[in-house]
Amino acid sequence: MNQNGEQYPFDEVITVDGEEREIMIYEMKRRTSARWSEDSKSLLINSITKYYGDSGEEEFSIKETVSLNDKGTILSIAYTTNSVYGENTGTYFYSKAEE
């Protein structure tokens, strides 16, 4: 979603071998790579999206760490975003639904 509340849905296919993939989201170029952490317990995803802002071409980067807890019941996605507006960090937690 952009600053005006407009959404930009897209499909992206990435591999977990660290190879960079590139897609276009409307007129914005996005490069993404993913690989397993050294302990193989987390998936590390890095992406950079180029867009045209008030000052010309700008970049928006996201670093995500996707992990499951030891019991496999909670998925966490920790993220850091960087843009001309500064840095933002946070974590999303998703719990497994009971069967």
pLDDT of residue 56: 87
Q: In what order do the strands lie in the sheet with 56-68?
A: 21-25, 28-36, 42-53, 56-68, 74-83, 86-95
Stated pTM of the model: 0.83
d(CA 98, CA 40): 26
- Is the pLDDT assigned to residue 77 strictly greater than 80? yes
Tens of pLDDT, residue by residue over 29-60, are 999 999 999 999 999 999 999 988 888 889 99
- Is the pLDDT assigned to residue 89 strictly greater than 70? yes
Over range 24-33, report the average pLDDT: 89
